[in-house]
Structure formats: structure tokens, C-alpha cells
Amino acid sequence: MNICDQILAGKSSSILKVKELIRQVANSDLNVIICGESGVGKELVAQALHLCSNRKGKPFVKVNCAAIPGELLESELFGYERGAFTGADRTKVGKFELAHSGTIFLDEIGDMPLSLQSKMLQVLQDFQFSRLGAKTDVRVNCWVLAATNQDLEQSVREGLFREDLYYRLNIIRIFIPPLRERPDDIDVLIDYFSGRFAEKIERTLFEFTDGTRDFFHQYSWPGNVRELKNTVERLMILGDWRTVKAELMARETKQFGSHELTTQPPPPVPDDYEVVTVQKKKFPPLKEVKKKAVQEAEGKLISEVLTETDWNRKRAAKLLQISYKALLYKIKELNLRRED
């Protein structure tokens, strides 16, 4: 399984196109902007780009531009010198420096304050900047990936985002459709997340019933892949399907309005409805495992020796330090045959 398939689960045509685009641009070092609704997996795409590139093994540094107050974002990105402002009692290295030789991922770039966008543009042009309070510039070499759930073209028209910065970032655009437009991915994602979570909590395997899968296909997933993942994990822990279903329907109604819900109502859920069927792992006895391993090892070694001796069984027996009769027995027991 390649890196893209390990990170991005899905078989829909749109996700396959995303994976192909990742492979095409991974070693280009061109600026990439990843677009899509919240929860579709933009950070996963950024991670896949990094891991498929020549920069894998180097730093992957994420900055959430929406989570950091605007007045602090500049120092977070570019760092500051000791004494640059009140409370700056030591020099701090910024995220761009930490990402040197690797990749920096600017999540929610649309929330970056307009006052900071001009400096960001300069960095993308020259890959050098000065820390707050510094007299000299710092040069960096990093790949810049950005992501947004906003319509940046609309933000440009409204004067909220610099047009030149938009075009500097938008060299390669990767769009991830919402989950409601990718029904072919739902079963794949259910199996992917349930399998990973079962390993994490060291529990037995879970198989989601057909009724549950039908509901998952009819639900609109306003929170996209993130919501599906959280729902799968909650059901695996609690198994409280009726409560979870009611919460999902309430969330969907609030998000889209009742007139925009899926046209087909979800199937009725009886009181004794099972959300998952737990399958006990079946472990073979240790003796059987040991016996099989020994037979495989013996078969491989005997085959190699017979090939080396051109199937001269007397010579092979001497090399294996067993009797000729014992070798004939092993050849028959292991069903070994000479390849033409």
C-alpha cells in the first residue's frame, strides 16, 4: 500500500483524482492551496504531499492561522528577538525557521489578518524575513502548503484577502469534495476508521450492520469525514445507536434545514437494533503456529539445498546433515517438487 492510500482512505473518482494530483506535484516545490469544507481531510492531504515528496523525513510544521490571535500570529510565524517587546525575555524561533528544509502547512490561511499578508507575500517571493526586533534577515528553504474552507476569490473581491497573495499561493489547487458528494467512500471510511480504532483500544473487531451502513449513506455528514470518524469511534465504545442517531439528525437539520435533507428518509430503527456485531478474534493454538512455522522454514531450506545440488538428494542430505531416508520423508511430507 502506497503512502497516499495509507493516509487517504477512499475509492471515489474524486479522491482517486486527489491522490493522483498528490503524486504529480509532490516533488515540484510549487505552492499548493488545499480547498474544501471543514472536516474533509485537508491536513491529511498536506501530510500526504509532504510524505510523498523529497522532503519526507524533514520537518512538517503546521500553523493554524485561525487558532492564533492576529496580534500574535506574526511572532508565531517568524519569531522574535530577545527584548523585541515587553515580556520577550528570550529569542524565539518562528515556525518558518522550524520548517527549514521541510514543509510548512498554513491551515485556514483565509483567516490571516490583512496586515500580515504583505509580509507573507514577501516571504513567499524571497524566502527570507526578519524576526521581530531583529536587524538581519533569516533565509529559509521550505515548501509552502496552505488550506482554507473559505472562498478566497470572494474574500479577494471583498478586500479581505490580498489578490497577489492569493495568486502566489494558488499555483496548484487541490479541491476535496464534501463527503455527501462521495458516497462511494463511506463504506471504505467506516472500515478504515473502525479497524484503526479497534487496534488503538485493543478490542475485538467490529462489523457494522447493513442497517447502520444504510443510514450512514443517507445521512448528509455536515461535519464530513471528521464527523464520520468521531461517530464510528463513539459507536464502538458506547454502542448507543438510538441516541447517536437522534443527535446526527438534529445536527443535520440545524446545518442544512429540513428542506435540504436527503430525499429518502433513513430506515426505521427498532428498539433492539444492533449498531455493530462484535466478532471475537480467533487465535490458533500456539502448537499449531509453531508447527506451521517449522514446516515453512524446513520447506524453504530444503528447497534451496535441492536447487543448489540440482536435486541430488544424497548430496542434499549430507549438506542438511540428515539421513537420506529422512530427506525423502521430508520431501514427501512437505510436498516438494522439482521445478522444470
In DSSP terms, which residues pair with 128 in a beta bridge? 139
- Quick one: CATH architecture of 286-333? Orthogonal Bundle (1.10)
Residue 190 has pLDDT above 90, yes or no: yes
The CATH architecture annotation of domain 3-177 reads 3-Layer(aba) Sandwich (3.40)
- Which of 138-176 are b and which e, b meaning 16 or more Cβ less than 10 Å from the residue's Cβ? bebebbbbbbbbeebeebbeeebbbeebbebbeebebeb
Can you give the pLDDT at residue 204?
Answer: 72
- Phi/psi of residue 156, nearest 5 degrees: -65, -45
User: Quick check: helix, strand or coil at residue 103?
Assistant: strand
Contact 317, 308 (CB under 8 A): no
CA 215, CA 266: separation in Å to the nearest integer?
Answer: 6
Higher pLDDT, 248 or 158: 158
The pTM (predicted TM-score) of the whole model is 0.72
Query: Mean pLDDT throughout 37-59?
Result: 96
Per-residue pLDDT tens digits for 91-143: 888 999 999 999 999 999 999 999 999 999 999 999 999 888 878 899 999 99
Question: CATH 1.10.8.60: which residues of the chain?
Answer: 180-279
What percent of the chain clears pLDDT 70, i.e. is strictly above it?
88
Q: Which part of the chain is CATH 1.10.10?
A: 286-333
Q: Please give the grid coordinates belonging to residue 244.
A: 447517536
Report in angstroms the alpha-carbon separations of 328 from 114, 231, 293, 300, 332: 82, 59, 20, 15, 6
**pLDDT per residue as tens digits for the range 258-311:** 434 444 444 444 344 444 544 545 567 777 778 888 888 888 999 989 988 989
Fold category of 180-279 in CATH: Helicase, Ruva Protein; domain 3 (1.10.8)
What's the pLDDT tens digit per position in 79-92?
Answer: 888 877 777 778 88
Q: CA 235 to CA 198: how far, in whole Å?
A: 12
pLDDT in the model for residue 258: 42
